[in-house]
Structure 1
Amino acid sequence: MNDQEFLRIIEFIESTRAPFNLEIPGMSQDSDWAITSYLVTARLQEKDVSISDLIRVSGLTYGTAHRRINGLIEQGLIDVAPASPTGKSHSLRPSEKLLDAFRSLVSHVKSLVATLVGQRDDSQNSDQYYFGEPRGFIERSLPPTDLPTSHGGATRRLRFLFHDDNYFAALRNLWIDFRANAGRSEDFQLTPMQEMYETALSNGARDESEFDIITLNYPWLAEFAQKDLIAPLDIDVRELSSNLGDFHPAALECVTYADRLFGLPLYVTVESLLARRDIFEENALPYPTTLKELLAVARRLHRPKRGQYGLAWNGAKGMPIASAFMFLLNAHGGAVIAHDEPGTGIRSRRSRPQGTRCCLDEKPAHATLAFMQQLLAVSPPDTLAFDWEDSLAEFMSGHAALCYAWSMRAARLELDLQSKVKGKIKILPHPNLLGVRRSVPLGGFVLAVPRNLPPARAALAQQAIRWMTSSEAMKSSAKYDLPIAPRFSVNSDPDLKVVSMLVSFVDDMARNGLICNSMRPLTPVYTHIEEILGVEIHNALCGLTSHENALSSAHERIQAVLDSVLSQP
């Protein structure tokens, strides 16, 4: 049970107790419930509680409340901790004994409610379902009640391979909500990115798929489609009834291979440049639009002796630095793979079929690597070990003036109680050479159906994907967990725009065609490219090899992969 669900059940219990005092004259407040529920709620919300706070909510006179609180402390239900370095003030917290008792209480209430209204055969096993939103909000968002039995007659629960993040956890919780009667938590396998890729590959080698629905990172889809590991969806892209036009075009292109639809976008995340608005205003500095301006302002704001660095970015070996290189290469006007032959159409000796020529032997690649070397001088000292979480943490703690960050993680800057930059952020597209038509790279996930599913399971999986990518399901998940839905109708919801400025930023970029899905090339050999760049670029910036040798090696290795896999007739 997560903290959000824990809080929701405490609120539900409180809502059932409140009418007793309101409707029946002469009744006194239950002070023990008031004190302990307030303490547990504050703990879950990471708020400090003083003894004055507990006296206020207890409903008792000052002396009586003080004695009752001391009694709860003596019983080991409340812990007392120093609230200041001097030890003169104290904060009160629920003890583990009290927290365990509340966990038992909410589990019992959850099971009781599910038994009464959930119509589930596993109502007493509270870990297998989710206590969701109030009915008025949730009933439009739950999966269809007949989905598990809509094909083949017999009930069969679906199995899912999901990425391990908040959005997928929220989607799982909708599916296992006790009113949905659709599935259990054990039907979902949530895994880290690399493990998810390896599991999806190995699943494709089985005689029959273990999973009904798998999740793919956008750049992986071409590989899985080419290897015949996923099946095309039974959706005619030309039919208006399919409502595909509501999806962001950049996301929809990522799920199309050989003119067929092999999945549906579930959510998008974009990498933007985050700037500390307060620092820029204090120093009367304009926000950077070109790469030259980015480097200059990062130098100006780089004050390591004061614990402030110019720019935080993702330089760890592997996927983080490979992505950073490809994004900055695009900003320099280059690309890893040439998609169109330059010139007037006359093919040169080095011409290859479209999408099969590596370009790391050209000037933009060398300029990009040199630029990254310069960035290290205005970055935190551990940048070459930073992944996305590390760089965001550096920025969130107030130690960087600028940061490259993905929107799915950047939501924490406004919502996390530990954030020191809340309300101080300006979101910017990537600076580039000329400072015009600045775009952001696309990331996110797609839902797909494994090829090795029997027809009845495949039909059921396609129906489930349609529901999970519907605007109703996306709104319910995005409202609280804040990746960005790849549908215009969802992001135009004013309630979501109020929750986070990220929603408006991404929606504006999408409507202006400035979300780019080709910075990381859409090719069946993408994972090979990422692996090669993740090593070679990191070695160069660590000083283990020269820039020239790193790019030459990367170019030759990537070209060999392109020639062996894609140049065949």
Structure 2
Amino acid sequence: MSDLPDESHPEGPYDRLSQTPRPKLSNTELSRFIDFIEKFEEETEHSLSLSHGYREMRMMLHLMRNHLAGRLTTPTSLADASGLSYGTAKRGIESIIQRGLILSRPRTKSGKTVSLHPSPMMIDEWEAYANRIKGLLGPLFGVDPASDTGRRIFLDEAATDRVISPPAVLSARLELKGGLRGLIHADPTFTAMHNLKQQLESIFGLEIHNSARSIDDLLEAILANAGRPKSRYDLVACDLPWFGELASKGILLPLDRFIRRDAYDLSDFHPVAIQSSRYAGQQYGIPLQTTPELLCYRKDILEEAQLAPPTTTEELVKAARRLHDPGRGRYGIAWNAARGTPLGHTFSFLMAKFGQPIINLRRCEGGYDFQEATGEALRPMFQSDAAYRACEYMLDILKYSPPNILHMAWYERAQSYASGEACMAYCYTLLAPLIEFDQTSPAWGKTGYLSHPVGNHGRPITPIGGYALAIPANLSEERIENVWTALRHLTSANMSKLYILNGSLVTPRFSVSQDPEVSALSPLIKIVDDMARKDILQAWPRPPVPGITDVISIAGHEIFEVLDGRRSIKKALSMAQDRADRVMRDRGYY
């Protein structure tokens, strides 16, 4: 046989066509694919309530796709999507409605025009269908159910039961003239809500108008709104420590009558979040997010330096000193040191590290009692040993902080860490998307999370922050019922999961943290859930009592002078105590 190429076949063997063309799939693969198609058809027929002859699959796909995207579906648009004649499509739509799979909701008071939406039953069917089809696709493409990839694809029965469905539309649209008006906080959770605006408007059947503010501006806006004869907002987002003050001033509407009437179950919420949005035995808010402040640290950098994650304040100072390398643009730790509320938060949390709340709360099992705080329990504790130690600790870590530390607040410290500038940071989980969702961040996939390192006389705790939605007490009476309905749905487990899938990383609900689709997004979800179950999350470091915002603000201004080198610790704490005492006495608290 000649080694020379056969000139009649210039491409060698590749231009010789076999009498039996080779399939693109091997015989085994093709056989598996045929089996899959057969099973796919079976699963489709058994899982979905389809009626043959109306091309219902096309209509259901169109309806579900529009629902998830927040797009309007009308009878005409659904008929067009079916590819059938209008009369045939109309009969098909009526058949689906009669089987309880489509909700037909009036768009106007006259009811002459309607919008169409998948019912909860239809959504449940499609979720079950999707899971079963995933179970068929995995083996088809050679995915081992026991592998990490397989576990993300194949959910066992117990895990499937924990999956929370997408929110369904309300059976009747909300009747609120001018739409739903919200005053919200500028953060990733509320940004997710804003990004979902179209879908939320579809669910409620009205327009949504939100005004987002920073924390101090938000409180000022709530107080200003309270001075109006009628509220310009239907819902306001309240930082958890504000509830004592706002409720005591009659600014918020008690929600207990609605909770009792509707048998609204609060047991799924983190207990500390529910407690923080109560005052004097009444519930004034429903939690939307729970955001603990944790210590974030670069696992890779600590390992390289052969340092264990710090669990005490002494260990943290030593670690910050070792890691601090300004010549390489690397700093030990980032934290809130900006004048005012940011530094006030830091100070109150650091006092807690050393075993003392910022006010004279009574000790109780598991911490300090803020729910019954009156009189002497509201007296500020700036001249306590814990206050002095907190200031000393801040001066220690100040040496190993970024150069702009005295201008650093919540976002700046998180950004400093996420950018790789700081090796450690105190950070609210609210801003963890900067770390967990940005694959370009040097900290992505390399971050560990801890409770606050403890000081002398302290114990492991994680200070809680977060926001709850509340109804202004001066809201027009005719709007309250519909606004309560909106509040319930905006804080539901279905919605909370939706926020997380769209950029948030915080939830106040145990069920959402346990959802396998949620917990797979970040290890942080399970970390916070475990802390909530073990009662490590605590509100007493920044308690929701009357006057607390002023006490924290005073701390943030007076102690800033210490960090700036213009005042001694002793002098600053004395001045803070005098100012805070005066404010609390003038208000008649003691």
Kindly, what percent of the aligned residue pairs are identical? 33
Amino acid at match of 2:442: K
Amino acid at match of 1:157: G
Dislocated runs of 4+, deviation >3 Å: 109-121, 134-140, 172-176, 234-241, 434-437
2:492 counterpart of 1:451: no
Q: Who is 1:230 aligned against?
A: 252
Q: Who is 1:333 aligned against?
A: 355
* CA gap 1:176/1:281 in 2 versus in 1, 3 angstroms: same
Structure-1 separation of matches of 2:295 and 2:351? 15
* CA gap 1:143/1:254 in 2 versus in 1, 3 angstroms: farther
| Aligned positions of 1:109-124 closer than 5 A | 116=77
Structure-1 separation of matches of 2:258 and 2:73? 42
Amino acid at match of 1:427: Y
2:401 counterpart of 1:379: yes
Amino acid at match of 1:397: S
| Aligned positions of 1:473-552 closer than 5 A | 473-552=495-574
The Cα shift of 1:223 comes to: 1.2
Structure-2 separation of matches of 1:296 and 1:330? 21
2:227 counterpart of 1:200: no
Amino acid at match of 1:409: L
Q: Who is 1:396 aligned against?
A: 418
1:462-499 alpha-carbon deviations (Å, 9 max, x no partner): 12111111111111112222231111111111111110
* 1:141–1:174 contact (8 Å) kept in structure 2: no
Q: Who is 1:158 aligned against?
A: 180
* CA gap 1:260/1:215 in 2 versus in 1, 3 angstroms: same
| Aligned positions of 1:357-436 closer than 5 A | 357-433=379-455
Structure-2 separation of matches of 1:552 and 1:338? 16
Q: Who is 1:183 aligned against?
A: 206
Structure-1 separation of matches of 2:480 and 2:341? 32
Residue 346 (structure 2) aligned to one of 324, 328, 340: 324
Structure-2 separation of matches of 1:551 and 1:215? 32
Q: Who is 1:84 aligned against?
A: none
* CA gap 1:437/1:373 in 2 versus in 1, 3 angstroms: closer
User: Which TM-score applies when normalising by structure 1?
Assistant: 0.71
Structure-1 separation of matches of 2:301 and 2:313? 19
Q: Who is 2:482 aligned against?
A: 460
2:350 counterpart of 1:290: no
* CA gap 1:146/1:540 in 2 versus in 1, 3 angstroms: same
Residue 146 (structure 1) aligned to one of 165, 168, 172: 172
Residue 310 (structure 1) aligned to one of 311, 329, 332: 332
Structure-1 separation of matches of 2:204 and 2:536? 41
1:304-346 alpha-carbon deviations (Å, 9 max, x no partner): 112221111111111111111111111112221011289xxxx
Residue 323 (structure 2) aligned to one of 297, 301, 315: 301
* 1:164–1:191 contact (8 Å) kept in structure 2: yes
Q: Per the alignment, in what secondary structure is the counterpart of residue 420 of structure 2?
A: coil
State the superposition RMSD in angstroms: 2.9
Q: Per the alignment, in what secondary structure is the counterpart of residue 229 of structure 2?
A: coil
1:342-396 alpha-carbon deviations (Å, 9 max, x no partner): 9xxxxxxxxx934222211121111110111111111112111111222122211
- Tell me, which stretches of 5 or more residues in structure 2 are unaligned? 1-68, 79-104, 109-121, 128-163, 365-373
The Cα shift of 1:433 comes to: 2.0
2:375 counterpart of 1:353: yes
- Tell me, which stretches of 5 or more residues in structure 1 are unaligned? 1-108, 122-133, 343-351
* CA gap 1:307/1:221 in 2 versus in 1, 3 angstroms: same
Amino acid at match of 1:433: G
The Cα shift of 1:155 comes to: 6.1
The Cα shift of 1:120 comes to: 6.5
Q: Who is 2:274 aligned against?
A: 252
Q: Who is 1:80 aligned against?
A: none
Q: Who is 1:96 aligned against?
A: none
